[in-house]
Structure 1
């Protein structure tokens, strides 16, 4: 058994450590032992006991050594560490990375048909998010809600950069911490699937250097998948907004996500959203009348 130092193994090591630190012996169904515990959560030998593997095997696994992990062992570890579905998926991704030479990712582009979908949805904010949370496209109302991503330099069209490096994002989100933590968790989930993405490494390095909150939350190794939910905003033009969001994956590119934001019918939020939409409904603002922006992400 040889020691490896690939990004996937490093992520596996840190992820396992962070997960066992969050599970108490009582939560795991173990009898508390007398004396002072030197580590938070479960000890390595307790995880090994719960998963039905040898202590030596688990120690090697947690130290980032490259072992051939079976699906049954990963299932047992997921149960022992009380992982949710998203965490379980991440565990499988980082424990069993694809055995191939990393190749440059091909640039992402928004299909013309998807652009036409954005053109028709003029009453709700709609965005297309790509790898590492790059913003590939946004309709006028989404730009009015967040920022005009098309006006930014290409590398800055990224939701994580916006969330942590644009002061307006902190003012816009009523619960900025929850939104920002979700952003970090989404990046971690992506990192499990694409550990060799150099643009991701660049992004993580930049955000870690420039923002202490990002640096701290990245070290916690939480993962998050955006599916649906609600967000509260305080918009500088229309005031308070509560919007429900749905995150859909277009066919053909699992690394793209279509995000749609809606307001409860008849609510003050719907009125505010309509007001915001009326201010964006100008010939210069319509996507149909303007040339398509370059939606390719910074891959390759």
Structure 2
């Protein structure tokens, strides 16, 4: 009679077999198989050897997220491997762990730069703009001229008079930004990280305080943005947001000219 398949056990066995015992200070003599032993993984994860053995054998019930996180650290799993571990063990990914970031890869920057007349930015889950192209600097905001802490979409919307004046319907745009920002921060597990920003904007903007207190949440989604550029005049932009491969903490937002006249105005600005 064949055994019931145990994908979780197979994954754990495969990952511990890839680790070098000597790298962790474990003796290497008299080993019949490569990698760490079960009790060594249990020791690194600070859990019971019996419980870990049962986990590989498909016994003992579902492990807690804390146990899975300990095992992930003990096995030196990557973020992708950790997520796969949770999917195998619990059927859902782990809770989001926010990671602050202030740079992007050269490859991603080259992608931005290739979008010559489409303003494009990369923002974090807390809506800090960490990369942009020349079109974005010309049409939206010259992020490079701002101190790093001011390159935040929410702060710009409520604390930058030029950005506010550029919006066709500031109140509607601001409400959307607040609701989408709240959803993104919560989804990324960054609620604690945005407390200082929320407190700052609450102190300087009664409008922000009222919108934040409303507790609305929205997906960013695709849409159309209309800005009044001080030089080029009105520009309509169709925007879409894309996840950055391998970086769930980052989003690429592309603003494509809605019509030929909008593209012509952007080209004139860039010229």
Once the two structures are TM-superposed, the CA of residue 112 in structure 1 deviates from its matched residue by: 1.8
1:240 matched residue in structure 2: 234
Q: Quick one: distance in 2 between partners of 1:104 and 1:256?
A: 11
Structure 2 residue corresponding to 1:231, chosen from 211, 225, 232: 225
* 1:277 counterpart = 2:270: yes
2:46 matched residue in structure 1: none
Higher relative contact order (CA 8 A, sep 6+): 1
Q: Quick one: distance in 2 between partners of 1:265 and 1:135?
A: 26
Please list every run of at least 4 consecutive aligned residues from structure 1 whose deviation after the TM superposition is greater than 2 angstroms.
102-109, 190-199
Q: Unmatched 5+ residue regions in structure 2?
A: 1-93
* 1:213 counterpart = 2:207: yes
Alignment of structure 1 residues 162-241 onto 2, 5 Å: 162-194=156-188, 197-241=191-235
Structure 2 residue corresponding to 1:116, chosen from 100, 110, 116: 110
Query: CA deviation digits over 1:13-51, x for unaligned, max 9?
Result: xxxxxxxxxxxxxxxxxxxxxxxxxxxxxxxxxxxxxxx
Query: CA deviation digits over 1:61-80, x for unaligned, max 9?
Result: xxxxxxxxxxxxxxxxxxxx
2:244 matched residue in structure 1: 250
1:65 matched residue in structure 2: none
Q: Quick one: distance in 2 between partners of 1:205 and 1:187?
A: 15
2:255 matched residue in structure 1: 261
Q: CA RMSD in A?
A: 2.3
> Bigger radius of gyration, 1 or 2?
2
Which SS does the other structure have where 1:234 is aligned?
strand
Once the two structures are TM-superposed, the CA of residue 191 in structure 1 deviates from its matched residue by: 3.4
Paired residues of 2:167 and 2:226 also in contact (CA < 8 A): yes
Give the number of aligned pairs.
180
Once the two structures are TM-superposed, the CA of residue 193 in structure 1 deviates from its matched residue by: 2.6
* 1:133 counterpart = 2:127: yes
Once the two structures are TM-superposed, the CA of residue 194 in structure 1 deviates from its matched residue by: 4.5
Once the two structures are TM-superposed, the CA of residue 245 in structure 1 deviates from its matched residue by: 0.7
Q: Unmatched 5+ residue regions in structure 1?
A: 1-97, 279-300
Q: Quick one: distance in 2 between partners of 1:227 and 1:243?
A: 14
Which SS does the other structure have where 1:147 is aligned?
coil
Which SS does the other structure have where 1:113 is aligned?
helix
Paired residues of 2:125 and 2:188 also in contact (CA < 8 A): no
Query: CA deviation digits over 1:106-131, x for unaligned, max 9?
Result: 53531221111012112211111112
Instruction: From the two aligned structures, give the one with the greater helix fraction.
Output: 2
TM-score by length of 2: 0.61
Paired residues of 1:227 and 1:248 also in contact (CA < 8 A): no
Q: Quick one: distance in 1 between partners of 2:213 and 2:240?
A: 28
Once the two structures are TM-superposed, the CA of residue 139 in structure 1 deviates from its matched residue by: 0.7
Paired residues of 2:225 and 2:236 also in contact (CA < 8 A): yes
Once the two structures are TM-superposed, the CA of residue 190 in structure 1 deviates from its matched residue by: 2.5
Q: Quick one: distance in 2 between partners of 1:173 and 1:265?
A: 18
